Amino acid sequence: MSARPHPAHAAFHAHDWLHGIIADLATPFHARGGLDLLTFARLCERQVCAGASAVVVGDTIGEGDTLTEDERMTLIRTAVGIARGRLRVVASAGSNCTARAIAWTRMAQAAGADAAMSVVPYYNKPTADGIAAHFHAILDATTLPVILHDAPTRCVRALADDTIIDLAASFRVIGLRDDSGDASRLARLRPLLPPGFRLLTGQDATSLPYLLSGGDGVVSAIANVAPQLCRGMYVAAQKGCPRYATTISDMLMPLAEALSPEQVSSAVKHALSLRGLGHAAVRLPRVTLDDAGQRVVERAMEAIWAWPDEAT
């Protein structure tokens, strides 16, 4: 790995909006399985009211792997319509098929998204060279800004540091969502990347240590449920108030721990249903939480109910 930061296009990596607690939005469904756009619009508006800088549409929590192309387009357009310039919309556009990832990135741009989130190809286990070629093909064939998504536990393959540094030479690669769980990666990568390149974690349970260590933000499941608290934690961390940020983090931690990777969408949906924000329905092969899982989420919500801004 190079010992010096890559200088190419450093000045163009200034995407000041890509920071803070960014909700990986759930996709609400009616009990019969169709999109519940009214509830989705409410979820978007809650993020605006909480002062979020952006939302992610159709990704992990949003069950993007079960959405049709028409549904993807509808969700992005709905989010863009609600945002109206008040926050940015990041559309999930990743696939293990490079041609499909290109098509979805183009579709996201046509629908009005501000950036695309593109995950490492999953299932087919590409080599490091194949992963790099996949992303370069997307960049060569599209014009939308791209946020890389490294999710090795879901994709089997990881995004190597050298590949990130190589891709960051493009001014259109504006950040990384890092779900690797590697606590040392932030400090290791920061000096090797352009100054405006944004480093985000996708893990709620370690979000505060990540922010206090200089991370730019969190792509968060919990922010669906408690956007005001999440925003408060981020602001406290940024303003140098770690004790206050820790108090909020402690309130959120039971819910973060209740969001198991295997049923994270189902757990978020159940928590939202407790707030009157849609039905708990998920699409197969996901299933709703069993009684024991519901009780875990309900107990975790007790601390959040006590916070006035999160009571409704």
Q: Would you say 204 and 251 are in contact if contact means Cβ atoms under 8 Å apart? A: no
Span 71-126, pLDDT tens digits = 999 999 999 999 999 999 999 999 999 999 999 999 999 999 999 999 999 999 99
Q: How confident is the model over 167-215, as pLDDT tens digits? A: 999 999 999 999 999 999 999 999 999 999 999 999 999 999 999 999 9
User: 225 or 15, which is more confident?
Assistant: 225
The answer to whether position 182 is within a domain reads yes
Would the annotation count 219 as a binding residue? yes
Distances (CA, A) of 185 to 120, 181, 189, 199, 285: 17, 9, 6, 10, 33
92 domain residue, yes or no: yes
Is 50 exceeded by the pLDDT of residue 10?
no
The reply to whether 305 falls in a domain is no
Band of the pLDDT at 14, cuts 50, 70, 90? low
Q: How many domains does the chain have?
A: 1
Assigned domain for 199 exists: yes
pTM of this structure: 0.94
Domain assignment of residue 68, yes or no: yes
In a domain, 310, yes or no: no
Residue 253, in any domain of the structure: no
Angle, CA 157 vertex, CA 206 and CA 63 arms, to 5°:
65
- Say which CATH number the domain at 69 has: 3.20.20.70
Query: What gap in Å lies between CA 254 and CA 189, rounded to an integer?
Result: 30
**Position of tokens 């197969």?**
284
Please report whether residue 296 resides in a domain. Answer: no
* Rounded Cα–Cα distance for residues 127 and 101 (Å): 18
Which range marks the domain in which residue 129 is found? 10-244
